[in-house]
Structure 1
Amino acid sequence: MKAKITRELLRDTKPTTKTIDIMDTDVRGFLARITPSGAINYGIRYSDRNGKQCRYSLGKTFPSTSVSDAREEARTLLGSIAQGNGPAADKKARQAGRLTLFQFIEGDYGDHLRHRPKTADSTIERLKKCFVKFKDTPLSDLDAKTINSWRAARTKAGIAPSTINRDIGALRPVFSRAVDWGLLPTNPLAPVKPLKNTADPLVRYLTDDEETRLRAALISREERDRVARTKTNAWRIKRKIEPLPELPHSHFVDYLHPAVLLSINTGIRQGELTSLTWDRVKLDGDASIFISGNAAKSGKGRHIPLNAEAKAALTQWKSQQRDTALVFPGREGNPITEVKTAWRNLLADAEIVNFRWHDMRHHFASRLVMASVDLNTVRELLGHGDLKMTLRYAHLAPEHKAAAVGKLVRPMTPTTDEA
């Protein structure tokens, strides 16, 4: 986007799910970057001696730094670059050895992550929460011994090995990027090996009774909304206020019911669900949905067939939708960002505890395995790159195991007493 950067422009430009770069038309190379979180950072863009496009952060944000001050600093830097000086290289040389962990995470590394806005904010939040002890520690002072001591303390506190491994897994690429950018000679986490997790994986899925209650709660919720809409319209008509659209029994009242039906019948992840677009849905013939590589956690696309219930739910939902790209749009057509309240209330109505939205994925996989579907097919449907991940979902309920063992029992041949 090109425009003259002004205070009014930055104030009025709303953040989106993608990073927005506004290139100034007054000073060529001066830019303002608006991140999905709403932060506005000043920077410059220029070509180095080899003609490579470079971006350099001024380390200043709006509105704490005025546009005019940032533009003047950019003008000075761009003039220095024109004389053969490289600010990015100078910055790395100055900061090497004394840049603190949080300065790096909140600065250049955070900017790098925000090129992937789907996971950037959650990754930064995890790093800052888990490693706050090292907030002001220079990168060069963090070594394998320090991290191992941190890990030992976490283990002693009862934190699960899998959780600790995920935390260190989030920290490892921080140092890899620091090495790539010349801030560190080697990655200090290279010698740190993952902890062995000896605990049995816990897979939460719905019993038959729980699934029945969940489905009943979905229907009851919609009926309550229909009754409430009828009462509201009666009140509005009485006061000569235009009534709201009716909620017929043939329609879903909102996204929750079709989203739940799609989830338990496809094992789709929540992020894949909220980013699913209608052009990835095929409802005629062999109905299916396509999860693109951009939306998939593995980065690889996959097709998931739709059974009769999932197809019927999406067909009905589509007939209710205006012309929107997203299958489950939020406000103003943007992706849904939060389902916790509606989901929590639904589980309370169904009297179901300790069950997350993601557990519908466990439920889908467990039902497949209990129906004797081979693990490789389950892996393909879930989008796992490695069968080892699928084994975590290949959980059979105790009653199914008992029934399987029971099939081995043969009737005993009666014996007679010898005369």
Structure 2
Amino acid sequence: MIKGEFMGKKTNTANLTNNMIDKLEPSDKAYDVRDSGESGFYIRVYPSGIKTFRYEYRRGKHYTIGRYNKHTFKVAMAREAIGLVRGKVSKGVDPNEEKKQACDLRQEKANQYTFNAFLEQKYKPWYRATHPKTTDATFQVLESNFKPLFGTKPLTAITLEKVEHWRSKEQLERRRVRIKKQGKEKVRVEEPIGAATLNRYIERLSAFLSKAVEYKYLDSNPLIGLKKLKVAEKNRVRFLSEKEFLNLLKALDDREEQLRAKRDKGNAWRKARGYTLYPDLRQQAFVDYLKPMVLISLGSGVRFGSLIRLEWERHVDSEDKDNVILKLTPDIVKTEKGYDVPLDENTSNILIQWYDQTYGSHQGKGWVFPGKKPGSHIANVKKSWNSLLELAGIEDFHWHDQRHDYASQHVMSGTDLYTVMELLGHTDPKMTKKYAHLASEHKIAAAKKLGKRREDILKKADGK
């Protein structure tokens, strides 16, 4: 049934069903189709294609029930809502007046709460209880970016137009300072703030406003419909050459020896003066967290944020000590579903050694990489990582590039892209496709090796 069957008739009447409504097409003007069974019940079809259930509860008095959606708001639900409206009308209640009063009450409530008041009194207590791991980062974004703009204003003052204007201004004017290496020197470089960063900031503001809607301080989230900024696709695939890989391993060992020698010297000084000695680092598998973190990162491809939040009891399956499995749960990864990462024998042994060395601080239950404060995990390794790269003579290699290296080495070893996608926890094959060219290059290189081998065989034969 389509729009043409109704247009031109004096009365548009039909038995309203989901299938029939799906087939109604928009016209250049809004039109109504009344239900043949329920008096006063009809659907209005707008030129935009939106279809809204309405109910005429008195002559000339129309009440909007809600927007039709074949998944979330169907005909049966609209009929139930009409029953409630009819009951109110029979008691002398005007549903439109009741809706207006409720709206005015929410408006008054919203005006009573400023951005600051809702943040401090409502949002922060709820967020601390439900999202303890991201509390500081979220509050820092809201307070540094939006508090200066909306702090003392009511929640209703936050509009899509104002937020979009703020975003445009930030894109044009805001700069952030990064430290970059130019040759052997480190220089401060100013860069414009990225689109992805601004998108994250607005996502946090939108979540804040959605909570205000849930608590009935706002009728709706004003940022619904605000399009995200387009983010340039990242195709960086940086992996270690064989030489760089060996240099990195050597630098890890050299760093360990340097720290052990430093501890030996310090203990010799303390012993000569009768002071208590520090633990002998030569009796430990590792001097600190860096070597196991790097080797496990290279051997698993796990993101830094997930790596530092690993817990022995929740995320490490070491039943087979030569084939440990990291069981990454949704709360520590970027995807809605968790995924498993099996480790090779060498990486498994590194993790087991680290477990044995740090057992006293976690008793088999706590963080895999505990921080200095009791109950905390390591949060930042930037200084030690940069020093390690300098010692290894490796440039332009970020911590996250270890994940690229893990995937690249898999592909160049012959692992198919689908398996690599599963190992990385990717949900979209497009994210893994950036490694596809490595498979081609590897095959070409293999073909060249085969050709060279056959040439050598022929030369030997000719020589005979």
Which range, TM-score by smaller chain?
0.5 to 0.7
Decide which structure has the larger Cα Rg and report it: 2
1:185 counterpart residue number: 219
Deviations 1:211-261 (A, max 9, x none): 333222211110011111211222222222332222227711111111110
Task: Check if 1:322 corresponds to 2:356.
Answer: no
Contact 2:159–2:222 (8 Å) recurs in 1: yes
1:340, distance to aligned residue in structure 2 (A): 2.9
2:266 counterpart residue number: 232
Cα gap change, 1:199/1:337 in structure 2, threshold over 3 Å: closer, same or farther? closer
- Could you tell me how far apart the structure 2 residues matched to 1:380 and 1:122 are? 29
2:380 counterpart residue number: 338
- Could you tell me how far apart the structure 2 residues matched to 1:234 and 1:118 are? 42
Choose the corresponding residue for 1:281, options 287, 306, 317: 317
2:244 counterpart residue number: 210
- Structure 1 residues without counterparts, runs of 5 or longer: 1-90, 412-419
1:153 counterpart residue number: 169
Task: Check if 1:113 corresponds to 2:113.
Answer: no
Contact 1:266–1:304 (8 Å) recurs in 2: yes
Amino acid at match of 1:156: L
Task: Check if 1:371 corresponds to 2:413.
Answer: yes
Task: Check if 1:194 corresponds to 2:228.
Answer: yes
* Normalised TM-score (structure 2): 0.60
Amino acid at match of 1:269: R
Cα gap change, 1:319/1:119 in structure 2, threshold over 3 Å: closer, same or farther? same
- Could you tell me how far apart the structure 2 residues matched to 1:337 and 1:198 are? 28
1:394 counterpart residue number: 435
- Could you tell me how far apart the structure 2 residues matched to 1:221 and 1:384 are? 34
Contact 2:322–2:345 (8 Å) recurs in 1: no
Task: Check if 1:384 corresponds to 2:426.
Answer: yes
- Partner SS, residue 309 of structure 1: helix
Amino acid at match of 1:113: Y
2:186 counterpart residue number: none
1:401, distance to aligned residue in structure 2 (A): 6.1
- Could you tell me how far apart the structure 2 residues matched to 1:334 and 1:378 are? 32
1:189, distance to aligned residue in structure 2 (A): 1.0
1:313 counterpart residue number: 350
Amino acid at match of 1:330: G
Moved more, 129-138 or 222-231: 129-138
- Could you tell me how far apart the structure 1 residues matched to 2:248 and 2:375 are? 28
1:139 counterpart residue number: 155
Moved more, 91-100 or 204-213: 91-100
1:382, distance to aligned residue in structure 2 (A): 2.2
1:289, distance to aligned residue in structure 2 (A): 1.9
Deviations 1:353-411 (A, max 9, x none): 444433322332333334343333223222233334445x63756xx766656778999
Amino acid at match of 1:383: G
Contact 2:412–2:442 (8 Å) recurs in 1: no
Contact 1:368–1:378 (8 Å) recurs in 2: yes
Cα gap change, 1:149/1:301 in structure 2, threshold over 3 Å: closer, same or farther? same
Contact 1:366–1:396 (8 Å) recurs in 2: no
Cα gap change, 1:316/1:124 in structure 2, threshold over 3 Å: closer, same or farther? same
Cα gap change, 1:175/1:204 in structure 2, threshold over 3 Å: closer, same or farther? farther
1:101 counterpart residue number: 115
Contact 1:258–1:314 (8 Å) recurs in 2: yes
- Partner SS, residue 321 of structure 1: helix
Amino acid at match of 2:158: L
- Could you tell me how far apart the structure 2 residues matched to 1:341 and 1:102 are? 36
- Partner SS, residue 97 of structure 1: helix
Contact 2:195–2:229 (8 Å) recurs in 1: yes
- Number of matched pairs: 318
* Normalised TM-score (structure 1): 0.66
Deviations 1:20-67 (A, max 9, x none): xxxxxxxxxxxxxxxxxxxxxxxxxxxxxxxxxxxxxxxxxxxxxxxx
- Could you tell me how far apart the structure 2 residues matched to 1:355 and 1:98 are? 51
Amino acid at match of 1:154: E
Cα gap change, 1:302/1:401 in structure 2, threshold over 3 Å: closer, same or farther? closer
Moved more, 234-243 or 115-124: 234-243
Question: Which structure has more RCO (C-alpha within 8 Å, separation ≥ 6)?
Answer: 1
Share of identical aligned residues, percent?
36
Aligned-pair Cα RMSD in Å:
3.1
- Partner SS, residue 118 of structure 1: coil
